[in-house]
Structure 1
Amino acid sequence: MEQNNEYLSNRIIEWVVDNVDSNAVVESVSRLKGSTSSTLHSITLKVGQSVKRYVVRQFDNKEWLAEEPDLVLHEKESLLMAAKTGVTTPQVVASDETGEKCGIPAILMTKLEGAVELKPANMDEWLTGLAKGLEKIHAVEASDFPYQHYSYNDISTFKVPGWSKEPKTWESAINILTGPRPKTTDCFIHRDYHPANVLWNEGSVSGVVDWVNGCRGPRGVDVGHCRVNLAMLYGVETADGFLKAYQQQAGSCFTYNRYWDLLSLSDMLVGPPEVYPGWEAFGVSGLTNDMMKKRLDKYVVSLINQDS
């Protein structure tokens, strides 16, 4: 058996086998790159003449678990809802919500085909693919879904970032955020929709992963989160290109309001802006923390300088 099972215990491997097929043979175990808030492993099993691939997520971030002890249940419920979207998503095979069986809270899912693509050959087509995937998610009504969107930062206490070279612009942004919240109709949202959570195969989106934050909320939250990630990765022009692509896909179902972009931007700043390690893991090099600060300053200027 090919194995690179750092942090994946024999206890968890046995749990996987028991939940798939007790006669299954483990062919390989390897840690997946890119995850920063939990530990993900790919595990390949041979079941009779078939080869089946799965992903095990271990929720080993104690601080996160302390804040949200039901993380396994949350992802499980989100994946069940995501199955209604028409987007290819992992299927839940088994879950250990308390860690009683695995020694740590864990969830077992099917593994999707495809790979993260952060250096697309055609940026416009890539942005359109991202937008199409997101619009399908938002088409699902979620009034009975038990998880509701909330902001990661308390806007009432949010201050102008000390690192910024555009303090006046940030003051304007805070004034907007502390003003009236736009009225919207909630739908099902991914809540962490960005390019490192979208898989591609032969030029098309092949799946969307990492559903632990799925919830009811405004479309603009997902759009804004993806846009701020794109602004940090590539710049304002790319973020604007995604907005245009999403507007084309959503049509009259979406009314843009920069409030949600600004809220997503503030959510990104629970600390000083840093290069997301997942980007480097998927082949993007040359980014620096200083670049992230400059790009976020440019992004907030672009938002405040809008006509509305």
Structure 2
Amino acid sequence: MNDEWRKVMPECGDLQQDAILSASVLNWIKNQCGGSWDIYHICPLKGGVSSVVYEIQLQRNEEHAIWVLRQYTDRAWLAEEPDVVLHETSALNIVHRNGMNSPNWIASDPEGSHCGEPSVLMTRLSGEVILMPDDLTSWLAGIAQELALLHRKKIEPFPWSYYSYIDPSQFRLPGWTTRPKAWEEIARIIKEPPPNCTPRFIHRDYHPGNVLWERGRVSGIVDWVNACLGPPGIDVGHCRVNLVQLHGLEAADHFLDLYFDHVQGEQGIEYSAYWDMLTLASYVDVELMVYQGWVDLGVTHLHKDLLAARLDEYAESLLRRS
């Protein structure tokens, strides 16, 4: 087993035999390290909503390792993207080769023939998700710097390309808005042809819930399954619409400034409010709901009225930038 897979972990008692995963899954996991390591403990990880994720703790004599098993159980997603395991596997390998702080791929079960569900096994990065930081400025700076680092990478061709999650011509104004004219203008703008841009390797689901922190610094980025070649503004916009809801407009704008401080002079990376508008339109739904992943991670103060007010304010701010 590669030394990079080994993580020091606190002693947590006698070897446990968990019934969370079947014997077939456990045997498949053990086979990935030649059967010489024992599974010490298994626990579900919170924060995901479209797959189930487990932390797998292993030991061999005095050595310890922590892996992560991700199992795809969303039938609608699997029907739409049956090669999702291959997609994540390819993304993990390419970002690792290019020096990004990301999990190392270990093994895949694309059809679920061993694990019962399509599955990916990877190393666990050290660190934790922080959504409500004590130092908001430093937190935003770390998130912005890591995204800029990704977008500055000259990554080789990748089989998956960006496509919009919505048909802009079908966008309908959210029923909860109190600023319909702003949304009407956004609806008009996103129906126009998108601005020209140089495709870069993008995460495609970049937001604070996929950023890990340790000792006040970003320790890595997770959840690369949607990675593709596409407009960098999609990553920026997706992160900003999450920041608006979590911390308000000022935080989202500060993140934008910090990001462009890091990509200044990088050819082909320019701001366009179009991508912010498109990601905003992709995010809202008829019924506004607090993201369950945030609730699972301890963010319980958000409510629909607050989110609606923040998103309305954000919509108007984007028109001022367009």
- Normalising by the residue count of structure 1, what TM-score does the alignment of the two structures yield? 0.95
Q: Are residues 1:167 and 2:180 paired?
A: yes
For residues 170 and 19 of structure 2, the distance between their equivalents in structure 1, rounded to whole angstroms, comes to 43
Is the 8 Å Cα contact of residues 5 and 31 (structure 1) preserved in structure 2?
A: no
Asked if 2 retains the 8 angstrom alpha-carbon contact of 1:34 and 1:281, the reply is yes
Change (3 A) 1:251 1:84: farther
The answer on 1:294 being equivalent to 2:301 is no
Q: Deviations over 1:95-123 (max 9, x none)?
A: 00011121110010000000001121211
Counterpart for residue 6 of structure 2 = none
Q: What is the aligned counterpart of 1:194 among 207, 225, 238?
A: 207
Structure 1: distance between partners of 2:236 and 2:83 = 26
Partner of 1:146: 159
User: What's the counterpart of residue 242 of structure 2?
Assistant: 229
Poorly superposed stretches of 4+, deviation over 2 Å:
1-6, 84-87, 140-143, 269-273
- 1:211-261 CA-partner distances (Å, limit 9, x unpaired): 100000111000000000000111111100100110101112221110000
Question: Among residues 263, 271, 275, which one is paired with 1:250 in the alignment?
Answer: 263
Q: How does 1:11-26 map to 2 (within 5 A)?
A: 11-26=24-39
Cα contact 1:85–1:137 (8 A) shared by 2: no
**1:304 paired residue number:** 319
Instruction: Show the counterpart of 1:265.
Output: 280
Q: Give 1:157's match in structure 2, choosing from 159, 162, 170.
A: 170
| 1:159-188 CA distance string (max 9 Å, x none) | 111221111111110111111311100010
Q: What is the rounded CA distance, in whole Å, between the counterparts of 2:18 and 2:232 in structure 1?
A: 39
Determine if the alignment matches structure 1 residue 99 to structure 2 residue 131: no
Quick one: which amino acid aligns to residue 124 of structure 1?
T
Q: Structure 2 vs 1, CA of residues 5 and 232 (structure 1 numbering), >3 Å: closer, same or farther?
A: farther
Q: Which runs of 5+ in 2 are unaligned?
A: 1-14
Aligned equivalents of 2:19, 2:262: Cα separation in 1: 41
Report Cα offsets for 1:5-32 as digits up to 9, x if no partner.
54x3222111111112302111100000
Does the 8 Å contact 2:234/2:275 carry over to 1? yes
For residue 63 of structure 2, what is the aligned residue in structure 1?
50
* 3-state DSSP of counterpart to 2:229: strand
Asked whether 1:275 is paired with 2:290, we answer yes
RMSD of aligned Cα (Å): 1.4
Asked if structure 2 preserves the Cα contact closer than 8 Å seen for 1:164 and 1:293, the reply is: yes
Kindly tell me: are residues 3 and 304 of structure 1, through their superposed partners in 2, closer, same or farther at Cα, counting changes over 3 Å? Answer: farther
Give the whole-Å Cα distance in 2 for the aligned partners of 1:270 and 1:47. 49
Greater CA drift, 225-234 or 156-165: 156-165
Within a 5 Å distance, the mapping from 1:56-205 to structure 2 comes to 56-142=69-155, 144-205=157-218
Identity %: 43
Relative to structure 1, is the Cα distance of residues 156 and 200 closer, same or farther in structure 2, using a 3 angstrom cutoff?
Answer: same
Q: What stretches of structure 1 of length at least 5 have no aligned partner?
A: none
| Conserved? CA contact 1:3–1:30, under 8 Å | no
Q: Is the 8 A contact 1:93 1:110 kept in 2?
A: yes
Does the 8 Å contact 2:148/2:262 carry over to 1? yes
Q: Deviations over 1:20-71 (max 9, x none)?
A: 2302111100000111110000000112431010000000111110111111
TM-score, normalization by structure 2: 0.91
Aligned to 2:7: none
Residue 252 of structure 1 aligns to a residue whose secondary structure is coil
How far apart are the structure 2 equivalents of 1:15 and 1:140? 35
**One-letter amino acid matched to 1:303:** L
In structure 1, distance between residues paired with 2:120 and 2:29:
9
CA contact (8 A) 2:48 2:293 kept: yes
Query: Aligned equivalents of 1:290 and 1:203: distance in 2?
Result: 32
Tell me the SS of whatever aligns to 1:149: coil
CA distance in 2, matches of 1:284, 1:163: 22
Shift of 1:142: 4.3
Selected match of 2:231 from 218, 227, 232: 218
Letter in 1 for 2:319: I
Which residue identity does 2:313 align to in structure 1? K
Cα distance change of structure 1 residues 2 and 165 upon mapping to structure 2, 3 Å threshold: farther
User: CA separation in 2, counterparts of 1:45 and 1:28?
Assistant: 7
How many residue pairs were aligned?
306
